[in-house]
Amino acid sequence: MIKRFFLYGIIGWSMEIVWTGLYSLMNGDMALEAYTSLWMLFIYGCAVFLEPLHDIIHDWNVVLRGIIWVVIIWGIEYSTGKILLGMLNVYPWQYFGKFAVEGLVRLDYAPAWFVAGILFERVHATFDRLKIT
């Protein structure tokens, strides 16, 4: 479980670096500056605790599963952001704009979280197939 925790964390971290690097490109930053927070390693690592849910819903329709992941990810994003803000007075991320909820969640990121949830299902299946514990 510890291996999976850190592997999920590293995979999530990597996805976030690519995402923010692409965002830089879209804003004309040819250096493709990307960023994340060390806290995100641990937050993404918590995906290991969602594996039992994936085992339950893995045969469900992909659209329904994706919606479930979006809602769960928003909940994790909001709650971990609130915890870090309350305990350390820091935002590991801060969203702006009309779709931002208290700077902690962006509703317009639903498609990205949908895809991320489905990708993490694939990661889980791969870990199981490779017998990574």
The confidence score (pLDDT) of residue 9 equals 98
Handedness of CA 120, 125, 130, 133 (dihedral sign): positive
Q: What is the mean pLDDT of the chain?
A: 97
| pTM of the predicted model as reported, rounded to 2 decimal places | 0.93
Confidence of residue 19 (pLDDT cuts 50, 70, 90): very high
pLDDT digits (tens, 9 = 90+) for 73-93: 999 999 999 999 999 999 889
DSSP string, 8-76: HHHHHHHHHHHHHHHHHHHTT-TT------HHHHHHHHGGGGGHHHHHHHTTS-HHHHHHHHHHHHHHH
pLDDT digits (tens, 9 = 90+) for 52-78: 999 999 999 999 999 999 999 999 999
